[in-house]
């Protein structure tokens, strides 16, 4: 079938000649010339059949994603890939990265972004209608791509400092994950430098602010952490904001000393301290911290001077000592193993804390068998980061006069503690009636 229709103007208007009504009438009737012929069977019963239409206008079909290829069947069929072909398909699933299209069994043809870039993870969503045009080399998406949401994972499946997550659709390689933002709900707080493993691709170091390793607390429990892989490291975009921690306490400035009987019960690990005056703890907050010292002999084997112990009250004359507050509460955890009796004079020293927050207790300092007046160590429940906190305080004498409170910036060797000394105007350590201490910083 070959028909040619030619339309030509039937009248022209010469320059400089006035336009008349007759001339306008002539111009309104164009010249139409039809040439060619229509063979029998070219047209079916007054209509153009689909078989006589060459694909080139908009065509549409559902597509199934199989092995990174969207497969679809157009009807009428596309007989060859050619520049200018335009069609649309409805995707049954989201793409996981670069993807091809196979139309009517013609073979896989690249589907790319305008300009030739490969598609990224979930650029096409399930049930999205995608329009594309063949540019002679590949198929170019001409419709809007899906809005790229941040991939969200309910919880990480790793452990503290070694995190793992499985975005779906999954990343096939770290190259495919480069530049993508992934959100992970943290299940375990980190305590040091950490790593993240996506889709089992292996671990990548987590950094913050470019190249800084994570510090304890940067990933808090329940934090929705946003990560982006920069090609080398997983960048944490929103480290936990750590509020300045605080601790404070109020305590009497004179230690109470009670005599420890030299003969100890090595079977039950208990000490006899007659009329010790301590009250049994009802919670971790009121477990009593104590220290021990010796004069003229040796402490019961297993005990050490200037060490923080937590007393479990067996009765009015008996205690066991523990290295944790939990032991001071339950009488079992972290009990000190006593392996021998003491000699000389052994003492249990108690500094009474009357109020406090985030402070486990206050230790009296012993030297040469005696308590050093005005020399204490404040033990925090949660340790502050060395060099990242300040401690201030005040002290008063028994007659109400103010005394100076000096802060020893060197850690005395006990983790999570800080030494303070109460001095008079001559710089001499002295006992005080009452001390107040406040600490601020990072924990």
Cis amide prior to 76 (ω within 30 degrees): yes
Do 135 and 211 have their domain in common?
no
Q: What is the mean pLDDT of residues 307-326?
A: 95
Output the pLDDT for position 56.
46
In the chain, the number of structural domains is 4
pLDDT exceeds cutoff 80 at 426: no
Do 221 and 134 have their domain in common?
no
- Cβ-contact 164, 156 below 8 angstroms: yes
Output the pLDDT for position 366.
84
Q: What is the mean pLDDT of residues 102-120?
A: 92
The confidence band for 134, taking pLDDT boundaries of 50, 70 and 90, is: very high
Terminal Cα distance for the chain, rounded: 87
CB atoms within 10 A of CB 437: 23
Do 230 and 251 have their domain in common?
no
Say if residue 225 is exposed, middle or buried (CB neighbours under 10 Å; 0-12, 13-18, 19+).
buried
pLDDT exceeds cutoff 70 at 300: yes
Determine the length of the chain: 443
Model pLDDT for residues 35-85, shown as the tens digit of each residue? 666 666 665 565 555 555 555 445 899 999 999 999 999 988 889 999 989
Radius of gyration of the chain (CA): 42
Output the pLDDT for position 20.
74
Q: What is the mean pLDDT of residues 120-126?
A: 85
pTM for this model (two decimals): 0.49
Model pLDDT for residues 151-180, shown as the tens digit of each residue? 556 578 888 899 999 887 778 889 888 888
Domain that holds residue 382: 247-441
The confidence band for 16, taking pLDDT boundaries of 50, 70 and 90, is: confident
> CA-CA distance, 261 to 37, in Å (whole number)?
127
| Domain final residue, candidates 172, 201, 236 | 236
Do 124 and 168 have their domain in common?
no
Do 433 and 325 have their domain in common?
yes
Do 215 and 351 have their domain in common?
no
Mean of all residue pLDDT scores within the chain: 82
Percentage of the chain modeled with pLDDT above 70: 76
Least confident of 100-104, 112-116, 126-130, 405-409: 405-409
HSE of 93 in the Cβ direction (CA atoms, 13 Å)?
A: 15
288, part of any domain: yes
- The larger pLDDT score, comparing residue 358 to residue 273, is at 273
């Amino acid at each position: 079938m070959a028909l040619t229709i030619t339309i030509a103007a039937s009248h022209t208007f010469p320059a400089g000649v006035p336009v008349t009504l007759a001339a306008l009438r002539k111009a309104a009737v164009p010249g139409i010339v039809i040439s060619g012929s229509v063979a029998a069977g070219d047209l079916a019963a007054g209509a153009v059949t689909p078989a006589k239409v060459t694909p080139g206008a908009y065509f549409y079909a559902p597509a199934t994603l199989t092995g990174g290829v969207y497969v679809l069947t157009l009807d009428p069929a596309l007989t060859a890939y050619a520049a200018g072909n335009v069609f649309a398909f409805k995707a049954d699933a989201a793409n996981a990265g670069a993807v091809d299209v196979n139309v009517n069994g013609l073979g896989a043809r690249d589907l790319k972004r305008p300009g030739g870039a490969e598609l990224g993870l979930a650029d096409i969503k399930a049930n999205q209608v995608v329009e594309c045009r063949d540019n002679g080399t590949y198929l170019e998406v001409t419709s809007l791509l899906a809005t790229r949401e941040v991939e969200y994972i309910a919880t990480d499946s790793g452990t503290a400092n070694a995190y793992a997550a499985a975005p779906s659709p999954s990343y096939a390689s770290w190259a495919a994950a480069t530049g993508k933002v992934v959100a992970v709900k943290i299940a375990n707080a980190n305590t040091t430098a950490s790593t993240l493993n996506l889709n089992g691709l292996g671990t990548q170091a987590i950094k913050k602010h470019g190249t800084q390793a994570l510090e304890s607390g940067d990933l808090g429990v329940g934090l929705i952490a946003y990560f982006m892989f920069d090609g080398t490291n997983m960048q944490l975009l929103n480290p936990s904001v750590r509020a300045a921690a605080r601790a404070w306490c109020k305590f009497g400035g004179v230690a109470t000393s009670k005599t420890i009987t030299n003969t100890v019960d090595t079977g039950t690990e208990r000490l006899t301290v007659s009329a010790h005056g301590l009250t049994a703890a009802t919670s971790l907050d009121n477990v009593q911290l104590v220290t021990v010292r010796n004069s003229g002999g040796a402490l019961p084997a297993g005990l050490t001077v200037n060490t923080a112990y937590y007393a479990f009250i067996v009765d009015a004359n008996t205690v066991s000592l523990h290295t944790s507050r939990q032991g001071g509460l339950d009488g079992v955890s972290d009990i000190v193993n006593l392996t021998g009796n003491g000699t000389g004079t052994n003492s249990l020293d108690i500094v009474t804390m009357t109020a406090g927050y985030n402070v486990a207790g206050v230790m009296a300092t012993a030297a040469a068998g005696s308590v050093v007046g005005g020399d204490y160590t404040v033990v925090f429940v949660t340790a502050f980061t060395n060099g990242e906190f300040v401690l201030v305080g005040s002290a008063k004498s028994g007659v109400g006069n103010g005394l100076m409170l000096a802060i020893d910036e060197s850690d005395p060797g006990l983790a999570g503690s800080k030494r303070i000394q109460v001095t008079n105007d001559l710089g001499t350590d002295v006992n005080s009636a009452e001390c107040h201490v406040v600490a601020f910083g990072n924990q």
